[in-house]
Amino acid sequence: MRLAFRALGGAAGVAWRESFPLGGRDVARWFPGHMAKGLKKMQSSLKLVDCIIEVHDARIPLSGRNPLFQETLGLKPHVLVLNKMDLADLKEQQKIIQHLEGEGLKNVVFTNCLQDENVKQIIPTVTGLVGSSCRYHRGEVCEWPLMFLLDTPGVLAPRIESVEMGLKLALCGTVLDHLVGEETLADYLLYTLNRHQLFGYVRHYGLGGACDDIASVLKQVAVTLGKTQKVKVLTGTGDVNVIQPNYPAAARDFLQTFRRGLLGPVMLDRDVLQRSPVAEP
């Protein structure tokens, strides 16, 4: 493939890919079977609690939430905790809140649990909804007001609405990488970063410029990191050992670097926000 790097300084004016090829991908198999058991257990536990605290990734505040929680809105007090706010681009935070309010969610808390940022807002929010007496005694989390927590496993919705939603979930580590394909996922990440004009990957890996071709980017990443492998190639004169870039290893590093926040904050639901009407003041 032709190496198509462009100077970072002029990258903002470049027309990047407007769409990502989504055909031929079976999202049904991305839902791990053990999660179905966890989902049934969660459903049976709902009647035992006074308030539901739903924890979701702040980078995808509008995508991939489990419909089980949405069905309980109006039946149980509900707090949506959008964690990993340090990894999310929250310039449109108010628009996110307005969108969620339109879905019936009035109590939203953005947190960064690693730094305890805003975490202390959760208990006062719950107390304001249910009072200081909680019925189900399982794991005390607060002495005053006395409060107990029933923890449940993290589960996906049984039906992922679209391939693109599945890719967003996978980028956030909710779907196992190998189910999607690490290089496919790395390509979707590159597509997203370029469309959002987020070129931190160029600086992080010391590339010559931004690029929209995943093979070229992974080749440069592999060379930069020394992730190469010997491959035997059969020629007319016998086997020859050739050094080639380790594309899967480069893709894994690209994904892990993104998840650690080293490529900068990202809002993966920016497309959903752009389609969302702004509520009248």
Query: Is the predicted pLDDT of residue 70 greater than 80, yes or no?
Result: no
Do 155 and 260 belong together in one domain? Answer: no
Mean pLDDT of 78-86: 95
Residue 23 lies in a domain: no
Q: Do residues 81 and 103 both lie within one domain?
A: yes
Position 231 in a domain? yes
Q: Which of 105, 129, 164 is the last residue of a domain?
A: 164
Domain co-membership, 44 together with 146: yes
Residue 281 lies in a domain: no
Range of the domain at 133: 32-164
User: How many separate domains does the chain show?
Assistant: 2
Domain membership flag for residue 280: no
Annotated binding residues: 83-86, 154
pLDDT of amino acid 281: 44
| Residue 24 covered by a domain | no
Work out the pLDDT band at 232, boundaries 50, 70, 90: confident
- 157 in the same domain as 37: yes
Residues 157-166 have a mean pLDDT of 78
Domain boundary among 164, 194, 215: 164
Digit-coded pLDDT (tens) for 12-35: 556 789 889 887 676 656 655 656
In a domain, 18, yes or no: no
Residue 154: CB atoms within 10 A of its CB come to 12
- Asked if 112 and 190 sit in the same domain, the reply is no
pTM of the model: 0.84
- Which CATH number fits the domain that encloses residue 189? 1.10.1580
DSSP assignment, residue 159? S
Examine the domain organization and report whether 93 and 142 are in the same domain: yes
Binding residues for GTP: 83-86, 154
Residues 63/99, Cβ–Cβ less than 8 Å: no
| In-domain check, residue 26 | no
Instruction: Please compute the mean of the pLDDT values over residues 65-85 and round it to a whole number.
Output: 80
Same domain, 190 and 234: yes
Q: Which of 116, 132, 164 is the last residue of a domain?
A: 164
| Bridge partners, residue 76, by sequence | 73
Residues whose CB is less than 8 angstroms from the CB of residue 143 and which lie 6 or more positions away in sequence, other chains included: none
- Diameter of the chain by CA atoms? 81
Task: Please state, in angstroms and rounded to a whole number, the distance separating the CA atoms of residues 180 and 215.
Answer: 17
Report percent pLDDT > 90 for the chain.
44
